[in-house]
Amino acid sequence: MQLNKKKQVLLVGNPNVGKSTVFNTLCNKKQKTGNYAGVTVESYSGNYTYRDEQVEVVDLPGSYSVYPSSEDEAIFSKFLIDEQKNYTGVIYILEALSLKRGLLLFQQIQDLGVPLILVVNQIDQAERRGISIDMQRFSEALNIKIIQTNAKEQIGIDEIREAVFNNDFLKTEKISFETPNEHKDFLKKIAAHKGIDNEYKAWMTISSGIETGRIESVHDLLSNSEAKSLVPKRLQVQETVRRYQNVDKILANVISKKPQFKELLTEKLDKILVHKFWGYVVFLLILLLIFQSVFFFAEYPKGWIEDFFAWLSSFTKDNLPEGPLNSLVSNGIIPGLGGIMVFAPQIGILLYFLYLLEDSGYMARVIFLMDRFLRPFGLNGKSIVPLVSGTACAIPAVISTRNIENVKERLLTILVTPFMTCSARLPVYSIIIGLVISDRSFLGIKYKALVLMGMYLLGFLVALFSAAILKRFIKNEGKTYLVMDLPTYKKPLFGYDFKMVLGKVWDFITGAGKIIFIVSIIIWFLSYFGPQQKPNEMVATDVKLEQSYLAKMGKAIEPAIAPLGYDWKMGVGIITSFVAREVFVGTMSTLYSLDDDAPEMKVIDKMRNDVKPNGEKVFNFATGISILMFYAFAMQCVSTLAVVYRETKSWKWTGFQVVMMTGLAYFVSLFVYQILK
């Protein structure tokens, strides 16, 4: 059956109104959602088919106004206005608990002549607070079709699809914003001059500051008094005040609230969770609980994965014909892939807890709580979003800085976010902590959990310290203030978040697996052959690992890394991990699997028992801490570098970040090893 031409619609709304959840449900996508502002900072697109009609849904970044104050809002405004001829209409998402806030942007879009469907989301939250909305009156007052939804429960989604199919987008002819009388004559002049048939578009032309500041021809239309009165920010404030007065009149007739409604759980919890002292205590306790869980809950699945890959390696070794292929598969590829997959449970547990915190609304409190803490370091509360997101991956974290309005604060956040411990560092930390930290506990908390938490806090503190230094050298673009709504606490969708985690873990495994697969083959090849082999031996047999090309290359860099406590194997691991940090674990797994002295022994046991020529353990306490310090600071992710350049558009700052982080990693590791050895 032939499908009709694809229809494009935009998904628009304030931050944190469930827009991304609606997008995911409509298009069966798994875009990350969170219960705090600034999750979506790029325009995402997805497709669905309904009644043989293909629909493309573009999820634009959340915005509070058509006047952009940050990178993500600029993306929103540009797409909304410049692409108006290309999309059918806008699905506007309005949160039931924040009608007044959301109606400002809604009416601005409506006055631009954009066809709209209004979706009031999270109706259940309003009902729990005793808020009743007369949807019939509301629809009549706004002259718009309204659909009620609870996106997380998939309620109302089919109604949206049906409305899009029926083209229920309404375009109003009456502008709700009455422009000030003192500017009407000039607006007529500007409309005639620019060929604009919409009064509000003419108003936007001057209130956005574009025309009066950049196009000389418009200045000819201005009298001296008009020029003095047309201050863009002042006009925007004037518009906002008038619009909210109009919104108040509308809502007074459509909203009713039950009297004597008891204080909600949100208000009770916030007395502690955003407290100047107890808020930080609770946050640290939550982090400690998460890191304890990372080791406790992952212990058994890690063991199962280790046993499976050990069996698989042994099986292929016994059943494949003797020769290079046998060695490549059983000693190279399988141990390399197993070395990274064994940490999938820990990564999944960490991400799952982070998703639950975001989904519940707690992360918004962390932003609010951290604002006063981050200010002295040149950052603001919104910087905590990329910093916390950086614990999953630095790439989306750097992109999420677009919701930071101040240029200086955004650049500082981009430069220091890679210090945060991402999921790629977790396998490195886990294997090293497992090698050099005791299994004992303190007050029921494992030492390993305490050290892992310490590594995360170290990354955060170094990020702050670096920002405090860098802020002295980066020009300031004015002072900003954090203004945000704290959402109500919500019961997380445990199943939905679990599916999201499975998707992210699978992305990690497949992404890292591709790299490790290639690296494992290269490492095996360089370790299987050596310069002492005769030509007729190149296929028949392998050489001792110590006599291979890989060993020769590793020993060539050993003088540079020996002061840090590293041998040539660790040197090879560090070099390969410049592609991606987690490759270090795959490299070490492959290298130690190539050692035939104890083929039945697990890789981690081989690493634990490995000794230097002088009898000293290779992975002793001093060396282990040195490696942890190196990976805590080193910039070892090509993809992150590419994103940093894309966001800063500066090779200077990108190069500075690489040199700063790698240099710091080397000297801190050197200092730590020399002190502890």
Residue 102 is which amino acid?
G
For 227, the token pair is 């020029």
24 is in an annotated binding site: yes
Query: Which residue has tokens 């700052």?
Result: 653
Task: Please state, in angstroms and as integers, the Cα–Cα distance from residue 289 to each residue in 152, 271, 279, 363, 452, following that order.
Answer: 27, 21, 15, 16, 12
594 close to 332: Cβ distance less than 8 angstroms = yes
Coil, helix or strand at residue 445: strand
Query: Which residue has tokens 């500017």?
Result: 183
59 is in an annotated binding site: yes
643 is in an annotated binding site: no
14 is in an annotated binding site: yes
313 is in an annotated binding site: no
411 close to 653: Cβ distance less than 8 angstroms = yes
DSSP 8-state code for residue 596: T
176 is in an annotated binding site: no
C-alpha distance across the termini of the chain, in Å: 73
515 is in an annotated binding site: no
121 is in an annotated binding site: yes
**Main-chain phi, psi angles of 89, to 5 degrees:** -175, -175
41 is in an annotated binding site: yes
25 is in an annotated binding site: yes
60 is in an annotated binding site: yes
15 is in an annotated binding site: yes
Give the contacts of 13 (CB within 8 A, at least 6 positions apart): 19, 62, 92, 93, 94, 95, 102, 105
Coil, helix or strand at residue 455: helix
42 is in an annotated binding site: yes
Residue 138 is which amino acid?
F
How many Å apart are CA 196 and CA 208, to the nearest integer?
15
Name the residue among 624, 631, 625, 626 with its Cα closest to residue 661: 631
Pairing of strands 4-13, 53-59: parallel
480 is in an annotated binding site: no
Within 13 Å and on the Cβ side, how many CA atoms surround 527? 26
For 614, the token pair is 């002088």
DSSP-based helix, strand, coil % in the chain, nearest 5: 60, 10, 30
Coil, helix or strand at residue 552: helix
122 is in an annotated binding site: yes
Query: Which residue has tokens 């807890």?
Result: 353
Pairing of strands 255-257, 146-149: unpaired
Annotated binding site for GTP: 13-20, 38-42, 59-62, 121-124
Annotated binding site: 13-20, 24-25, 38-42, 59-62, 121-124
Annotated binding site for Mg(2+): 24-25
